[in-house]
A = this chain, B = another copy of it.
Amino acid sequence: MSDTIAPPLARRLAAECVGTAALVAVVVGSGIAAQQLSPADGGLRLLENSTATVLGLAVLILVFGPVSGAHFNPAVSLADWLAGRRTRTGLTGSQVAAYSAAQIAGAIVGAILANLMFNQSAGQISTHDRVDSGHLIGEIVATAGLILLIFALARTGRSALAPAAVAAWIGAAYWFTSSTSFANPAVTIGRMFTDTFAGIAPASAPGFIAAQLIGALLGLGAVALFHPAPPVAADDVVVPH
């Protein structure tokens, strides 16, 4: 990726916006389908929701990775900036802000789109309260693992595996965390806008987002510990620019 000319920023922001919208539409839409079709068993609903998310997320990273890096996640964009500051690789601070805005806008649109696909009212606010201490530990662990995974692949020249691997990690984290692993501030905000299976009440969102940012920093620490020697411009594999 580093030897190609990066797409213009506007196209990259469009990719982050559309990709995040599609991701949230997959998460919320499959959650609604599971809720409607499997009323009797909460585990089966989560299995349906997580399976659809794994499949959809892998595809979205394949499609948008070559355009914008397919972050779909302010925590990833922030980590890209932090990891690349010294070598002036990675996103700049202002690009992180623009990426995050595009991701959040897309996430909200995605939730509304899912509501509409299932003939629900477009505008909803979740009443699904989720915060407790176990949930916050789970968000930290899931986000730290996500950041470690992305940089481990980039720094060992295996970013072509990122679509399947990131999707697999999120699929596992749906289950091994009690929070079902949001691990993404933009998706957390988007999921406030649906009062269905995958929603999260606005009052729970700040705690989740704080835990995700802590997790991202911990993940960067793990990257420094386990994959400390980035070849020059290695971050380019994550974000072309």
- Residues of A at the B interface (CB closer than 8 Å) are 11, 14-15, 18, 22, 25-30, 32-34, 36-38, 40-49, 51-56, 58-59, 62-64, 66-67, 113-114, 116-119, 132-134, 137-138, 141, 145, 148-149, 152-153, 156, 158, 161, 165, 168-169, 171-178, 222, 225-227
B48 touches A168 (CB 8 A): no
The CA-CA distance from A46 to B29 in the complex, in Å, is 14
Q: Which residues from chain B contact A38 at a C-beta distance below 8 Å?
A: 41-44
Kindly list 14 other residue pairs between chains A and B, CB separation below 8 angstroms, not including A59-B172, A113-B141.
Answer: A11-B225, A14-B226, A15-B226, A26-B176, A32-B178, A34-B175, A40-B40, A52-B174, A56-B176, A59-B165, A59-B169, A62-B152, A117-B137, A117-B138
Q: Which residues from chain B contact A148 at a C-beta distance below 8 Å?
A: 63
B227 touches A52 (CB 8 A): no
Q: Which residues from chain B contact A62 at a C-beta distance below 8 Å?
A: 149, 152-153, 158, 161, 165
With A44-B38, A63-B148, A118-B134 known as contacts, the answer to whether A58 contacts B168 (CB < 8 A) is yes
Looking at A25, A41, A45, A59, the one whose CB has the most chain B CB atoms below 10 A away is: A59
The CA-CA distance from A169 to B166 in the complex, in Å, is 16
CB closest chain-B residue, reference A158: B62
Q: Least Cβ distance of A4 to chain B in Å? A: 10
The CA-CA distance from A66 to B15 in the complex, in Å, is 30
The CA-CA distance from A101 to B33 in the complex, in Å, is 33
